[in-house]
Amino acid sequence: MIELRAQGADEGELVHDNRGLAPEGGASFIPHLLSVIRRRKWLVIGTTIAAVLLGILVTLLMAPQYTARATLEIQRENTGLTNVDTTQSSTMMVDQEFYETQYGLLQSRSLAERVVKDLGLADSKPFLDSFGVKTADWFNGSRISRAAPPAPERMRIASDILLSRFKVAPERMSRLVGISFTSPDPALSKRVVDAWSAAFVQETLDRRFEATAYARKFLEGKLSQLRGRIDESERRLVDYASREGIVNLPAGDNGDGASSPERPIAADDLTSLNRELARATADRVLAESKLRAGGGQSAEVAQNPTVVSLRSKRAELAGDYAKMRATFESEYPPAKALESQIAQLDRAIGQEEKRIGGTLRQAYEASVKREDELKSEVSGLKTGMLDMRRRSIQYNIFLRDVDTNRQLYDGLLQRYKTIGVAGSVGLNNISVVDGAEMPRTPSSPKPLLNILIAVAAGLFLGLSAALVFEQLDQGVDDPAEVEALLGVPLLGTVPQTGDTDPRTALGDPKSPITEAYLSLRTNLSFATDHGTPHVFAVTSTGPAEGKTTTSYALARSLARANRKVLLIDADMRSPSIHYMFEVGNKMGLSNYLAGSDDAAALIVPTSVEGLWIMPAGPQPPSAPELLSSERFEKLIAELRGSFDHLILDAPPVMGLADAPIIGSKVEGAVFVVESHATQKGLARVAVTRMMAANANMLGAILTKFNVRRAHYGYGYDYGYGYGYGDTAKRGTPAA
C-alpha cells in the first residue's frame, strides 16, 4: 500500500500542469470543439446571425463603386550609363529590383499630381464632392473662391484621393502589370486610368532623357579632367626617370598571350648573369668531381681511347709473357723482350694518365675562375639593382598613377561613345497593352461575397467566444478528465437527480442514481486485494458536493448486499447524517473521542436492514485534536470487529485539517467531485493534501453529472435508466 500511495503522489505531480481544458492529443481537438459548439450553440448561432445582419446592412448602405483597369508592359532597360565597373549582380536580383522600382513609380505622388493636373481634378467640384470632401466655401459657381485652400493644398487632397483608390497588380512570371482605379463614376474611373497610363509613359521618357543628358554632361566633364590628369602624370613620370637615370624596357608580349609590364634593363642583365653563374657553378662542380676521382679510376681515364688501346695491348703481352715463363726461364731472350715491351707500355699508360689528370686540373681551375668572375659581376648587379629599386619606388607610384588615369579615361570614353550611339531616347520601354474600358457593372459592393465574409466572421467570433467561455469554466465537465486531472482512478459517475430528493431516488432500485451507486460499489470492490475496503472515508474538496449522499448511498448499497455496515458521521463541524435518518445528535462520535467508553451506546439502528449509524455528536472545541488522539484509532479497531464495513463521512478537505487526519487512519479514502461546479485547481490541491497526509486515495466519484454539459457527449447517457426508469415510464418494454 505504501508503494501505491507513492505512485499516486507522483501521478498527482505529473498532472499538476494539466489544465483540463481538452484531452491531450491533437486528434481529440475536433471532438472537443464539436462538444463546445453543441453546448454553446446558441452563442455561436446568435453571433453568426448578428454578423450576417450587420453585413447585409453595410452592403445596403454602401454606394456602388466602378473600377476601370488597364494593362501595361514594362520591359527591362539598361540604366548603367555612368557605371564604369562592368560587374553586376545576378540578373534575377537586378530584374526584381527594377520591377519593384517601377511599381513604386506607378504609385508615386509625383505621378498622381501629374494626373490631377492633366485632368484638372484639383479644381473640379463634382470630383471633390463625390469623394466626401467638404467644398461648400471653395467655389463660387464654377470658379474657385478666396476661401478655398491654396492650389498646393488642393493638389495634395486630390492626389491623396487618387492614391487611396489606385491599385497596381503585377502578373506573376511576366512583364505585364495591371493598374486600376475605383470611383463612384465609371467615366471618371476610365479617364483616370487612361491619364495615369499616358502620364507614366511620358514621365518615363522624360526621366530617360534627363538621365541621358545628365550622363553626357557628367562624362564630358570627367573626360576633360582625366585628360589633364593623364598629361600631368605622364610628364611627372618622364621627368623623374630622366633625373634618376631609370631606363626601362617597354611592356610587351611574353609569347604566351600575356603582356609583361615595364622592366629595368638591369633586371634583364641580372637574370642573364644569374643563369650563366648557375651554369658555371655546375661546370665547376663537375670538374671538381672529375679531378677528385684520381687513381686512374676516373671516367676520363677509363674511357680514353689511347689508354684503352695501351691497356689492351699490355694485357695481350702479359698473357704471352705468362705462357712463355711457364716453359722458359726468365733469361730467355724472347721473354726478356716481352718484359721490356710490357715495361714500356706501363710507362706510356702512366704518362697518358698524368696528362689526363693535368687536363682535368686545368679545366677545374678555369671553371673556378669563371665562377668567381660571374659571382663578382652578379654581386655588382645586385647592388645596382637594389639601388635601382630604391630609386624606382617613386617612379612606380607615378607609373601607377598614369595607368589608373588612362584606364579611367578609356572606360569613360567607351561609355560616352555608347551614349552617343544610343542617343535616340525616343524608344520607350513602357507600352500600353490594353487600355481602360468603361466599366458597366459595379465592382463593389458584392452582396454574396459580403454575406459569406459576414458568415465566416460570425462563425469565427462565435467559436472564439465559445472557446473563451469554455476556458473560463473551470468545472470538471467530463469523466475522462478526472484521472488525468487528479491522478486517481475514476470509480464511477453519478447523474443528476433534478429536483428529486436523492434519498427518494435511492429508494427506487430501478432509478439511474441507484444503478450508478451499484456500479460504484462494484468498482470499489476492486480497490484492494481483499475486495471492498473494510474502513474507508468519503470526502470532497468543499461542502455540498455530494459526499454525504455518496456515504449514505454506499452504506445502503453495501447493506443490501447482506453486509453489516456502520456509517459514521465524522464531520463534527457540520453533521448531516442524523438529518438523513431523522435521529437525534445529542450523543455520537465526539462523545467517544472526548472520553466516553461505551461505543455501543452511540450506535443507532436504521430502517435499512444491516445498516447502523453513529451521529457526529455535539460540536467539540477542536475536532482535529480529537481525531488525532489514540481514541479515534481505538474506536476504529473496536468497531471493525463488529461490522463488515465502516464508512466515515469526513469533512471537506479545503480549509480544514480533519479530512487528511481521517484519511491517514483509515484503509482508504474516496474523493467526491461535483461535476460542472468543483474548480479543477482546488480539486487537484485537495487530492495533493490527502496524499501528503499518507492517505490511500481509492479513487474519485463524479457526482451531479449532466451528460449534456460533457465535453464528449457520446457514451455517458447510455446505461442510466436503460431498461428502467424513463423507458418504463413511457411504457417501453425493457431490453
- If one counts every other C-beta atom within 10 angstroms of the C-beta of residue 687, the result is 28
The answer to whether the CB of 491 falls within 8 A of the CB of 523 is yes
Q: Please state, in angstroms and rounded to a whole number, the distance separating the CA atoms of residues 506 and 710.
A: 24
Those residues with Cβ within 8 angstroms of residue 80's Cβ, 6 or more apart along the chain or in another chain: 88
Judge whether residue 255 has pLDDT over 60: no
How many whole angstroms separate alpha carbon 60 and alpha carbon 535?
74
Pairwise pLDDT comparison (113 vs 425), residue with the higher score = 113
Question: What would the DSSP string read from start to end of 225-294?
Answer: HHHHHHHHHHHHHHHHHHHHT--EEPPEE-SSS-EE--EEHHHHHHHHHHHHHHHHHHHHHHHHHHHHH-
Degrees to nearest 5, angle at CA 561 with 560 and 566: 70
Which 8-state DSSP code applies to residue 26? G
Sign (positive or negative) of CA dihedral 142, 144, 147, 152:
positive
With b for 16 or more beta-carbon neighbours within 10 A and e for fewer, the 263-292 pattern comes to: ebebeeebeebeeebeebeebbeebeebbe
The yes-or-no verdict on residue 170 having pLDDT over 70 is yes
**pLDDT of residue 88 exceeding 50:** no
Cβ density class 318-339: b for 16+ within 10 Å, e for less? eeebeebeeeeeeeeeebeebb
| The pLDDT of residue 670 is above 90 | yes
Q: Residue 544 gets which letter from DSSP?
A: T
Q: CB neighbours (10 Å) of residue 159?
A: 22
Q: Are strands 697-705 and 490-495 parallel, antiparallel or unpaired?
A: parallel
Q: What is the pTM of this model?
A: 0.45
- 57 exposed, middle or buried (CB, 10 Å; 0-12, 13-18, 19+)? exposed
**pLDDT band at 177; cut points 50, 70, 90:** very high
232, 406 contact by CB (below 8 A)? no
**Cβ within 8 Å of residue 610, ≥6 positions away:** 558, 559, 560, 562, 563, 564, 565
The rounded distance, in Å, linking the Cα atoms of 675 and 710 is 9
User: Residues 256-314: pLDDT tens digits?
Assistant: 555 556 666 667 667 777 787 788 788 777 777 777 765 445 666 666 777 777 778 87
Q: Give pLDDT, residue 82.
A: 44
Residue 570: band (very low, low, confident or very high) from pLDDT cuts 50, 70, 90? very high
- Closest of 313, 705, 713 to residue 515, by C-alpha: 705
Distance of CA 202 to the CA centre of its chain: 46
Helix 186-244 and helix 333-421, axial crossing angle in degrees, nearest 10: 140
Q: Got the DSSP string for 27-44?
A: GGHHHHHHHHHHHTHHHH
pLDDT greater than 60 at residue 584 = yes
Residues 342-377 pLDDT 10s: 888 777 777 777 777 777 777 778 888 877 877 777
Q: Which of 596, 598, 589 is nearest to 627 (CA)?
A: 589
